[in-house]
Amino acid sequence: MDPNTLLYAIAAILVLVGLAGTVLPALPGLPLLFAGLLLAAWTDGFQHIHWGWLLLLGLLTLLSLVIDLWATALGAKRVGASRLAVLGAMLGTLAGLFFGPVGLLLGPFAGALCGELLHRRSLQRDDFGQAAKIGIGTWLGILFGAVLKIALACMMLGLFALAWWF
């Protein structure tokens, strides 16, 4: 097997895993996507993709990391979530990975709900309702971040293709 073919295959795998990582919070999606694009450019000897394009793709990758943190924090902050609720949402997301798509949808909500209830140290009806509101707000923040990361991933792939073929 030609070494370049193997490197292109690894680059393609990195890109695909990176795309999956835009919606799976446990994977660093866009950094893996960028690594795949960088490997493809390197394998080509940077004949099609020059440093300016790579710099732009790298900046978009950094922007995705900021968006990831910002969107989750924004969703949580808008509804008055505690730090335990945000931590619970992250842990719930990780736990949700083991339960497939349903776990990915319910995990962040359940984690934020539990985290907020722990913060309040109460199981009163009013506290449960507020904790549920916080769970939904945090989940929406995570969802908003995933949508923005998908848009950035599409933009990165489009820019890479544009630079490669034109």
pLDDT the model gives residue 77: 73
**Structure confidence by residue, pLDDT tens digits, 105-149:** 788 888 888 888 888 876 666 778 888 888 888 778 878 888 899
SS (H, E, C) the chain: CCHHHHHHHHHHHHHHHHHHHCCCCCCCHHHHHHHHHHHHHHHCCCCCCCHHHHHHHHHHHHHHHHHHHHHHHHHHHHCCCCHHHHHHHHHHHHHHHHHHHHHHHHHHHHHHHHHHHHHHCCCCHHHHHHHHHHHHHHHHHHHHHHHHHHHHHHHHHHHHHHHHHC
**Structure confidence by residue, pLDDT tens digits, 91-103:** 887 788 788 778 8
Is a pLDDT exceeding 90 seen at residue 151?
yes
